Amino acid sequence: MTTPALNPFLSRRRALALGGLAGGVALTASACSSGSSGSGDPNTFEFWSFTGINQKADVESYKKLAPDVTVKLTEVGNAQETAQGLTTALAGGKVPDLVLIQAGDLPKFMKNPGNFTDLATLGADQVEDDYVDWVMAQATAKSGEIVGIPTDVGGMGVAYRTDLFAAAGLPTNRDEVSALWPTWEEFIATGQRYTQASGSAFIDNAATTVFLQAVSQGTEQYYSADGEVVYDTNPVVKDSFDLGLKAIAAGITAKLESFSDGWNAGMAKGTFAAVAAPSWMLGSIRSAAPETEGKWDIATIPGGSGNWGGSYLAIPARAGNPKAAWAYISKMQSPEQQLQHFIESGSLPTTPVNYDKPELVDHTDPFFGDAPTGKIFTQAVLGLKPFLNGEYNTEISTELLNALNGVEGDGAPAAAAWDTAVKGIKTAIGA
């Protein structure tokens, strides 16, 4: 039925997590024409990535390390569009030499590991122990092939505006703030306290800041341990969905979908005071609201642990230059480079050897009130309880998020939201 894999990761961008994209894929002209280089040049390779994560910066960094190498980077579209484009290419079209796959889409490809180069044949078997075991397990087939190497994980925290909290009479010290919300119910109650005092929204939206985080903290999510679809019978899913509805009913949200234009503008204007923030989102906050530097801090996520995000680099079996692609992976995803990437961009390493290094543990971020981001986000990941992720995790999550957004943004009846989500899921996945 499905090839389960450990732990859920959703897209880093709105179109995958929130957009409710249909089955079609709109590739750019360059993506349609690009594919395996086939040039015979050992120093040139094609690389497909998705948009919104500044993969160009990584490519530029690699060029400094390997100046003789030419990387032909194509940003195909959002994460889901890139996965769909790869599916089309694997069916008989031109494939890239290297592709970035967000972890929520990876289970679809794990059903047919023969479509990819077994990275163990290139040296991945010598370095697989460098990575967090449950993250690496997601990209390892039951038959043993290593399909991908993880690039990052998205340890969770709550980013909050200290100035807005102070004006509403709430504490601003990160430890005191974390103590306000050991549970999601208390998080919502804090939101009501803030909204009543300020007259403004507490969080951006209920779908991603409440539901998506709460549902990822259970020991089972949309699939059972044996890989059966259980989204409609697992109480964790329904309870988390109800938490989202409760946050909407409490009137604490700004009704702004994550990563939308309104969300970016709201971030800069202080339209909301708190947002669920994985490590990589700190860059989004900086970009959307550069003038708010020093006004933010990071508190612990309710429940203490969580992850949102993560991707893998893989090499299609028909790649024209797999060795050059592997050289890129082995260099750019080494523990040393992952640590450097965290220091530069905030992306949390998947390499546990870094988790006790001072460069990570003692790292602070002045934009966020000198918060010890390395410590906060690492602890959030280490506290995770791995669970099985299935082939249609993305589609199931998208329909649930869409149903909540329908209530929050469009005024759809809350009482019918769960049934709407279930109906959408059955249409999307046929189960």
Residue ranges covered by each domain of the chain: 5-153+309-369, 155-307+386-429
Q: Model pTM?
A: 0.84
Model pLDDT for residues 113-146, shown as the tens digit of each residue: 999 999 999 999 999 999 988 889 889 998 999 9
Please give the pLDDT value at position 347.
86
Please give the pLDDT value at position 35.
47
Per the CB < 8 A criterion, the answer to whether 203 and 224 are in contact is no
- Per-residue b/e over 205-232, b at no fewer than 16 CB within 10 Å? bbbbbbbbbbbbbbeebbbbeebebbbe
- Amino acid identity at 394: T
Helices 55-65/322-332 angle, 10° precision: 100
Distance CA 367, CA 370 (A): 7
Residue 120, phi-psi category: left (phi > 0), alpha (psi -120 to 50), beta (remainder): alpha
Where would I find the H helices in 300-362? 322-332, 335-345, 358-361
Q: What is the CATH number of domain 5-153+309-369?
A: 3.40.190.10
What integer is the mean pLDDT of 34-40? 50
Please give the pLDDT value at position 17.
35
Q: What is the CATH number of domain 155-307+386-429?
A: 3.40.190.10
Q: How far is CA 385 from the centre of its chain?
A: 17
Per the CB < 8 A criterion, the answer to whether 155 and 376 are in contact is yes
- Pick from 390, 310, 427: nearest CA to 111: 390
Please give the pLDDT value at position 52.
74
Model pLDDT for residues 363-388, shown as the tens digit of each residue: 999 999 999 999 999 999 887 777 77
Model pLDDT for residues 80-95, shown as the tens digit of each residue: 899 999 999 999 889 9
What percent of the chain is predicted at pLDDT more than 90? 72
Pairing of strands 148-161, 272-278: antiparallel
pLDDT band at residue 36 under the 50/70/90 scheme = low
Equal CATH topology for 5-153+309-369 and 155-307+386-429:
yes
Instruction: Tell me the chain's radius of gyration from C-alpha atoms.
Output: 21
pLDDT band at residue 283 under the 50/70/90 scheme = confident
Alpha carbon separation from 352 to 25, 58, 108, 133 (Å, rounded): 36, 21, 27, 9
Please give the pLDDT value at position 383.
74
Model pLDDT for residues 63-82, shown as the tens digit of each residue: 999 999 999 999 999 888 99
Residue 9, pLDDT > 50, answer: no
46 vs 1, residue with greater confidence: 46
**What DSSP string runs through 20-59?**
---S-----HHHHH-----S--TTEEEEEE-SSS-HHHHH
* Nearby residues of 324 by Cβ (< 8 Å), 6 or more positions away: 42, 43, 44, 45, 69, 97
Alpha carbon separation from 313 to 31, 244, 262, 419 (Å, rounded): 17, 33, 32, 37
Please give the pLDDT value at position 40.
62
What are phi and psi for residue 370, nearest 5 degrees?
Answer: 60, 30
DSSP state of 210: I
99 vs 4, residue with greater confidence: 99
Tokens standing for residue 395: 């589609």
Please give the pLDDT value at position 5.
33
Average confidence score pLDDT of the chain: 88
